[in-house]
Amino acid sequence: MQIDILTLFPEMFQGVFDSGVIKRAMDKQLVSIGLHNFRDQAHDKHHTVDDYPYGGGAGMLLKPEPIFEAVEAIKGESDIPVILLNPQGRLFSQKIADEFSQYRRMIIICGRYEGVDERVSEHLATDEISIGDYVLTGGESAAMVVIDAVVRLLPGVLGSELSPLEDSHVAGLLEYPQYTRPDSYRGWAVPEILLSGNHARVAAWRREQSIRRTCERRPELLDKVELSTEEKRLVQKLR
Ligand code: ADE
């Protein structure tokens, strides 16, 4: 996958992509990330990228021309998804990460200041994504979140092909509790059943724990999950 990021602060991404799973994915050439400072596309002497909003109001807006020109320079005539990060976008989720992980290429635009000229969202972006109901100083940290969630889903990126299937949110449920050695730490014992070696009982326990945990912490998620009759009864009881 090729990801191109448009940002006024490319240096913010250094460090983030220089270690860990994303770095390994880049080394294995499973993903390539291009950073483009769209200030380079501003043609005036001061490389102006922002201006006052028509109609007045506080703050500055990112001008359309540098962003349009930077995107067009990357995509040429090809059809590449252009994702604008913006608190007004669709709320990012595991499902959207999955959708993006199918793309061969994508372009991500990081907004800044008080906003972006509306024509970018109307005529250039093919999608707008928010990572949550709060306002960041810019789209850069949101881009890091989106890229992290997407890249780990690409085939070959995680050590085990199976592990993303067990994640919280993949089955629409939160993940069950997990433990490693020692089996007793400061008197807190690992649930007996996990030491039993009985795979069927472990699987049943984990499923029940996932349902209990989701019910306690994120009950609204349960409305979208397929449950067996017995599991529905458990939810009724817990509620
Ligand atoms: N830019 C500012 N706030 C944002 C948010 N919540 N999600 C995505 N981009 C943003």
Where in the chain is CATH 3.40.1280.10?
Answer: 2-151
As its CATH architecture, domain 2-151 has: 3-Layer(aba) Sandwich (3.40)
Residues 211 and 207: their CA atoms lie apart, in Å, by 6
**How much is the pLDDT for 159?**
81
pTM reported for the whole predicted model: 0.93
- From 9, 131, 144, give the residue whose CB has the most ligand 1 atoms within 8 Å, as the site to mutate: 131
**How much is the pLDDT for 161?**
60
Structure tokens at 168: 């919280």
Q: How far is the CA of 90 from the centre of ligand 1 (A)?
A: 11
Q: How far is the CA of 62 from the centre of ligand 1 (A)?
A: 15
**How much is the pLDDT for 168?**
78
CA nearest 120: which of 156, 41, 67?
Answer: 67
Active site residue 40: no
Q: Is 139 in the pocket of ligand 1 (CB under 6 A)?
A: yes
What tens digit of pLDDT does each residue of 16-50 get? 999 999 999 999 999 999 999 999 999 999 999 99
What tens digit of pLDDT does each residue of 43-82 get? 999 999 999 999 999 999 999 999 999 999 999 999 999 9
Active site residue 152: yes
φ, ψ for residue 142, nearest 5 deg: -65, -40
CA angle at 20 for the pair 183 and 157, rounded to the nearest 5°: 90
Could you give the residue ranges of the DSSP H alpha helices within 128-228?
A: 140-151, 163-166, 199-217
CA nearest 105: which of 154, 64, 144?
Answer: 154
Q: Is 145 in the pocket of ligand 1 (CB under 6 A)?
A: no
Cα 132 to its chain centre, rounded Å, is: 10
Where in the chain is CATH 1.10.1270.20?
Answer: 166-238
Residue 16 is given by DSSP the state: T
Asked whether 107 and 71 are in contact (CB, 8 A), the reply is yes
Residues 89 and 158: their CA atoms lie apart, in Å, by 28
Residues 68 and 81: their CA atoms lie apart, in Å, by 14
Diameter over CA atoms, the chain = 71
Positions in the chain short of pLDDT 70: 161-163
Residues 117 and 61: their CA atoms lie apart, in Å, by 6
Pick the CATH number of 166-238 from 1.10.1040.50, 3.40.50.2000, 1.10.1270.20, 3.40.640.10: 1.10.1270.20
Cβ count within 10 A of residue 187: 5
Contact partners, residue 85, CB within 8 Å, separation at least 6:
108, 109, 110, 111, 128, 129, 130, 131, 139, 142, 143, 146
Cα 68 to its chain centre, rounded Å, is: 24
Residues 135 and 42: their CA atoms lie apart, in Å, by 26
φ, ψ for residue 35, nearest 5 deg: -110, 130
**How much is the pLDDT for 75?**
97
Nearest CA to ligand 1 atom 8: 130
**How much is the pLDDT for 187?**
98
